[in-house]
Amino acid sequence: MRLIKSYIAAEPLVQFTTPHQLKLNLTPRHYIDSEVLRHGDYEFEVTEALVGRLGDRDVFWDVGANIGLHSLYIAIQMPKVRVVAFDPNTDIVSRLRDNAHLNNVAIEIVQSGLWHSHGLLRLNDPNPVNPGMTGLESNADSTTRTQVLVPVLGGDDCIAHLGVPSPTVIKIDAEGAETSVLSGLRNAIDSGSVHTVVFEQREDADEGPRETLRSFGFQIAPIASEKGASHCNYIATRESNGTDIAPSI
């Protein structure tokens, strides 16, 4: 590890290499970053689940990419997979770009949130030491530290009008907005090419994402984790429509 100067919020960054040889610039006071420094990674079981469903011809969308733990690992280990990372947070996107450069990988980065339609929404930042909790869902309260307007796009619109390649594997970590993300991707999902969706959902959340995915023929299972948490990651899978994929985990 070595200490380097950050131009984001005047915070120091630590350059760290994970046991999986992923190089990252980390902010020690941020929760996810501190977990990586302490344990060597964060939710690597999610990364493993994604890798187990990816083949060379797949297109991976990382919705809520944060600093790139999943996107960059996949780009390094599976260079033929096309990786598209989405995040609406300006500071986080800057760090994601830096981390991509640090690892000498080319991924497509879209600085936008995904939603059921295009427009502007508030980006709520309720926890100053956990940017991973930043979300577009209207979950702000009086303790919310920051609210800024950010662009949001429908996933189908990205494909139709921005030239973003249509996904076959999707990871969604949108802090409560998962159903809205899926609603904006109905055409892509209905086409049959999307064969895997990994998503996070709190234990006390409604069945929205799971109901939506089941309606498209997905089977859903939790991803085992050694950590106890108030949320769970799930993997939704179905047979692909014309895309070669690895066997299900």
For range 58-74, the mean pLDDT: 98
- Sorting pLDDT into bands at 50, 70 and 90, what band is 142? very low
pLDDT tens per residue, range 209-223: 999 999 999 999 999
**pLDDT value at 156 more than 90:** yes
Question: Is residue 74 scored above 90 in pLDDT?
Answer: yes
Per-residue pLDDT at 125: 67
pLDDT bracket for residue 175 (50, 70, 90): confident
DSSP for the chain, written as a single string: -EEE--SSTT--EEEEE-TT--EEEE-TTSHHHHHHHHHS-SSHHHHHHHHTT--TT-EEEEET-TT-HHHHHHHHH-TTSEEEEE---HHHHHHHHHHHHHTT---EEE-SEEESS-EEEEEEE--TT-GGG-BSSS---TT--EEEEEEEEEHHHHHHHS-PPPPSEEEE--TT-HHHHHHTTHHHHHTT---EEEEEEETTS-SHHHHHHHHTT-EEEEPP-SS--SEEEEEEE---SS---PPP-
Spell out the domain ranges in the chain. Answer: 43-237
Write out the CATH class of domain 43-237: alpha beta
Contacts of 39 by beta carbon, 8 Å cutoff, 6+ apart: none
pLDDT in tens, 17-50: 999 999 999 999 999 999 999 999 999 999 999 9
Residue 167 confidence class, pLDDT cut points 50, 70, 90 = very high
* Residue 224 confidence (pLDDT) above 70: yes
